[in-house]
Chains A and B, each alone.
Chain A
Amino acid sequence: MIVPMGHILIVSTTLFFMGLGCILARRNLIMILIGIEIMINAAGLVLVGASAFWRQADGQVFVLLLMGVTAAEVAIALAMVVYLYGFKRNLDIDNFDGMRG
């Protein structure tokens, strides 16, 4: 009654692509991580919407687990950012091409 499922999907798709755009377009490591966060949140929105659509709890449970994973991931990612900043003194991803070749 409140909203068609399609609209929820469109919103979350837009969010997702904005996150993707952030990842592709920005050169700062922090901004890339932020883009990842946006994308994960978009997925979360879809899950909650689906949970409401099918009237089951599974989607929400999944969102909880997603948050847990995201927290772990962010912890390690930011630790690595700090570490890498120590090497290159800036966070431009073009600097980190040690895996070249």
Chain B
Amino acid sequence: MATVLFYLLSAVTLVATLLCITRKNPVHAVVFLVNALFALALLFFLLGAPLVAAWQVIIYAGAIMVLFLFVIMILELAPGQAMASATRLQLAPAVLLFLLLLVSAGLIIMQDPAGAARVERFYLSPRDFGQALFSRYGLAVEIVSFQLLFAAAGAWYLGRRRRVRREEERR
């Protein structure tokens, strides 16, 4: 049962991602990506990471993708101009990547044709997760919190109002 679910969710993720990267409209792309991220979160849940799954929805789909939408909408709202971005697809990298994908997949299969290394049913409770996080990875937590701080500072700096300069540039 879990196996079937796994393959189903994988298929959803892949299809959604494929659709995402081929959309002209960025909003459509973001929406499809949210779809893919939902499926991915369920996959995480299946693989015994309930906390991570929750965070995937909350942070990734809920915050980061929303942020993307915000920015798209902000820029969209620039007066009288559609997003004049070209979305040309190029064939050569695509072909290359496809080939690489085949090669990698082949490699992976060749390592273990029979599928002997299997992921067993696993479940990590939040308590165990918290224990691991704050005991062994305490320093990393601190560092990431620093990083969030200066990211916020940087984003504020980059985004502050520079009306005067913008008007100068327009002239």
Interface residues of B in 106-124 (CB under 8 A from A): 108-109, 111-112, 115-122, 124
Nearest 3 interchain pairs by C-beta: A72-B151, A4-B115, A57-B132
> Which residues in A have their C-beta under 8 angstroms from that of B115?
4, 6-7
CB distance from B146 to the nearest CB of A (A): 10
Count A-B pairs with CB separation below 8 Å: 258
Interface size on B (CB < 8 Å)? 91
CB neighbours of A74 from chain B (8 A):
64, 67-68
Q: Which residue of A lies closest to B74 (CB)?
A: A82
B78 within 8 A of A: yes
Query: A41 contacts B93, CB within 8 Å?
Result: no
Known contacts A9-B108, A11-B13: A34-B122 contact under CB 8 Å: no
Residues on B with C-beta less than 8 A from A24 are 90, 93-94, 97
Best-surrounded residue of B48, B49, B51, B116 (most CB of chain A within 10 A): B49
Q: Is the beta-carbon distance between B72 and A30 smaller than 8 angstroms?
A: yes
Interface string of B130-146 (1 = CB under 8 A from A): 01110011001100110
- If over half of B's interface residues share one DSSP class (helix, strand or loop), that class is named, otherwise mixed; here it is helix
Contact residues in A for B10 (Cβ distance below 8 Å): 7, 11
Q: Is the CB of A48 within 8 A of B47?
A: yes
Task: Give chain B's interface residues, CB within 8 Å of chain A.
Answer: 2-3, 6-7, 10, 13-14, 17-18, 20-21, 26, 29-30, 33, 36-37, 40, 43-44, 46-49, 51-52, 55-56, 59-60, 63-64, 67-68, 71-72, 74-75, 78, 81, 83-90, 93-94, 97-98, 100-101, 104-105, 108-109, 111-112, 115-122, 124, 128-129, 131-133, 136-137, 140-141, 144-145, 147-148, 150-152, 154-155, 158-159, 166, 169
On chain A, the number of residues with a Cβ less than 8 Å from chain B's Cβ atoms is 73
Q: Complex: how many Å from CA A58 to CA B150? A: 26
Is A71 a contact of B46 with CB atoms below 8 Å? no
Contacts A11-B10, A57-B124, A71-B151 given; indicate if A90 touches B83 (C-beta within 8 A): yes
**Cβ B117 vs Cβ A79 within 8 A:** no
Contact residue among A2, A4, A6, A37 (Cβ-Cβ distance under 8 Å from B46)? A2
Are the C-beta atoms of A2 and B90 separated by less than 8 Å?
Answer: no
Contacts of B7 in A (CB 8 A): 3, 7
> What residues of B have a CB within 8 angstroms of the CB of A1 in the complex?
2, 118-121
A28 touches B71 (CB 8 A): no
